[in-house]
Structure 1
């Protein structure tokens, strides 16, 4: 019997049975199958994953749209885009915010005129001097009124005016007071000078702060607007409309902030009154109003006017009205 060079020769006297040959072939096939099994299993698993046909998910799978057909409304932003705010527009763009540190009202001027002067009581001869208000002559100034307990209108107007200045300056506005009472002058100024200060400052708005002195039971605020006056140095035609807008803004904000109602004794409940006999209005060339914040002779109004907390509200209300008028 001839043997292949790769097979060992049988031992002397031995023989190879047919069962031995079958067993050898079966063992060889089993080893080969065992070697191929992991590869086939891996391929099957990969196929299931790619086709989305996992056994644990029994929901029907929607066919994905091509990227070009996907709706932008269905796209959900990533976690990073949800938590990171959008970058602000450059300040130079139309939608950009004002430059840092620059308030929207910067460069605008407001003149605040604190009514009367605490020193006027000691200078009655000086304040009685007649001045031209365009349509006639009138006293340079008056003493103003007081509460029944002696709190002076001039004290009230100066306190509110200083509070008002602080609020307006925080908005970026330039604020000019017509006087600082005893700090800069012992009396006055006269009503024609008060008007001139606002005109020369080229004020965007002028507000004269006052409190009324009428009978008990008369309560509430009112805003005095300029009438149409022309004569001598007075010509209010150009400021009628703008002054009314200023007055309306202040009235609305003052009422809301202080809780006060419009005067119950004049103005027909509107809180607005037009007058042609006030030199501070007649001689103004800038939008200007007077505000009578309440009645110092009424006990309920006086309780408010003498309260520092209420005076702060009054200043805030007036300021809000001015800012609204200026578009801030």
Structure 2
């Protein structure tokens, strides 16, 4: 991840059963494919009840470098984001080129979505600041981390900034009010507790935190992280566990359809879902929120996707369709 802190209902349109079987049968585990096909051919709009195994707070995930936050990638000169940050302040002020319907129009009019681009390119130069401990409800953890990077130097922060801006544009076209937790417009951070607070203060109808993983070579695919039931200290996820699962399952299902990527082969047992209780961004959220790890930056096949602008657009589309389905349910 990524840092930290990081039902499959398909869209309601009907797709011939034979077409789906041919297109996704080779991409996803049999159980997941069968589920997705059932949804696409008239299954319940409430989605399934896929169960992901909870990761312990001591281990970020099987095969990953370590617990959240992930240890910093050792780099002296990180690559700067290929997608230049917007000159507008975080929020819904509008970025150049964003096409949006008139105020109050569009299927998502009146809905607020907060997008949280994982990490910040400046974190590499501010290790003292990001190593400061903050309260995540259950315990204290580092403010943030640098995130991971591909073997050739393409950073997670670079990836998340690009996909977040693509996702913002798509959601605005549907009439949503979209806010970003940051746009690389600050020297470092924000800390994980502040990221959660931004979504809470916005009264967001949905929040998604975008990441890419840094696991071992051969570990492939995406997974969506859902909040566990946590009630400790300042953390209480009681009210968001159920809607967050709905949001996460919709994002995962649409991510498969849009990108052709399979669910993770090393987290979630083929469901593409992982439940965690050790991420401050989820523990401290009072609104529906999920994380998505879009792929593994340390695998040669996954990094080829993550560095493709065409694939990143598909990834943004999958997320947008999942969020839209959740908000229009």
Same fold (TM over 0.5): yes
Instruction: For 1:100 and 1:186, locate their aligned partners in 2 and report how far apart those are by CA, in whole Å.
Output: 33
Instruction: For 2:166 and 2:103, locate their aligned partners in 1 and report how far apart those are by CA, in whole Å.
Output: 25
Q: Is the CA contact (8 Å cut-off) linking 2:222 and 2:292 kept in structure 1?
A: yes
SS at match of 2:311: helix
Q: Is the CA contact (8 Å cut-off) linking 2:193 and 2:280 kept in structure 1?
A: yes
The corresponding residue for 2:298 is 297
SS at match of 2:211: strand
Instruction: For 1:102 and 1:187, locate their aligned partners in 2 and report how far apart those are by CA, in whole Å.
Output: 36
Instruction: For 2:103 and 2:134, locate their aligned partners in 1 and report how far apart those are by CA, in whole Å.
Output: 47
Instruction: For 2:248 and 2:129, locate their aligned partners in 1 and report how far apart those are by CA, in whole Å.
Output: 31
> TM-score, normalising length from structure 2?
0.68
The corresponding residue for 2:143 is 140
Cα displacement (A) at 1:105? 1.4
Instruction: For 1:100 and 1:206, locate their aligned partners in 2 and report how far apart those are by CA, in whole Å.
Output: 21
The corresponding residue for 2:276 is 275
Residue by residue over 1:116-169, the C-alpha shift from the partner in whole angstroms, topping out at 9 and shown as x without a partner, is: 000100000000000000000000000000001000000000000000000000
Identify the structure with bigger relative contact order (alpha carbons < 8 Å, sequence gap 6+).
2
Q: 2:108 aligns with which of 105, 122, 131?
A: 105
The corresponding residue for 1:288 is 289
Cα displacement (A) at 1:101? 7.5
The corresponding residue for 2:252 is 251
Residue by residue over 1:13-40, the C-alpha shift from the partner in whole angstroms, topping out at 9 and shown as x without a partner, is: xxxxxxxxxxxxxxxxxxxxxxxxxxxx
Instruction: For 1:215 and 1:101, locate their aligned partners in 2 and report how far apart those are by CA, in whole Å.
Output: 46
Mapped pair 1:119 → 2:122? yes
Q: Which segments of 5 or more consecutive residues in structure 1 lack a partner in the other structure?
A: 1-98
Instruction: For 2:103 and 2:164, locate their aligned partners in 1 and report how far apart those are by CA, in whole Å.
Output: 28
The corresponding residue for 1:155 is 158
User: Which has the larger share of helix?
Assistant: 1
Q: Counterparts in 2 of 1:134-283, with a 5 A limit? A: 134-181=137-184, 184-283=185-284
SS at match of 2:240: helix
Residue by residue over 1:249-272, the C-alpha shift from the partner in whole angstroms, topping out at 9 and shown as x without a partner, is: 000000100000000001000000
The ranges of structure 1 where at least 4 consecutive aligned residues each deviate by more than 2 angstroms after the TM superposition are none
Q: Are residues 100 and 232 of structure 1, via their aligned partners in 2, closer, same or farther at CA, if it must alter by over 3 Å?
A: closer
Q: Are residues 101 and 177 of structure 1, via their aligned partners in 2, closer, same or farther at CA, if it must alter by over 3 Å?
A: closer
Q: Is the CA contact (8 Å cut-off) linking 2:209 and 2:290 kept in structure 1?
A: yes
Instruction: For 1:286 and 1:101, locate their aligned partners in 2 and report how far apart those are by CA, in whole Å.
Output: 22
Q: Which segments of 5 or more consecutive residues in structure 2 lack a partner in the other structure?
A: 1-101
CA RMSD of the aligned region, Å? 1.3
Q: Are residues 124 and 249 of structure 1, via their aligned partners in 2, closer, same or farther at CA, if it must alter by over 3 Å?
A: same
The corresponding residue for 2:66 is none
Instruction: For 1:189 and 1:101, locate their aligned partners in 2 and report how far apart those are by CA, in whole Å.
Output: 31
Q: Is the CA contact (8 Å cut-off) linking 2:103 and 2:175 kept in structure 1?
A: no
Q: Is the CA contact (8 Å cut-off) linking 2:118 and 2:211 kept in structure 1?
A: yes
> TM-score, normalising length from structure 1?
0.68
Aligned length: 228
Cα displacement (A) at 1:107? 1.0
Based on CA coordinates, which of the two structures has the bigger radius of gyration? 1
Cα displacement (A) at 1:104? 2.3
Cα displacement (A) at 1:100? 11
The corresponding residue for 2:29 is none
Cα displacement (A) at 1:103? 1.1
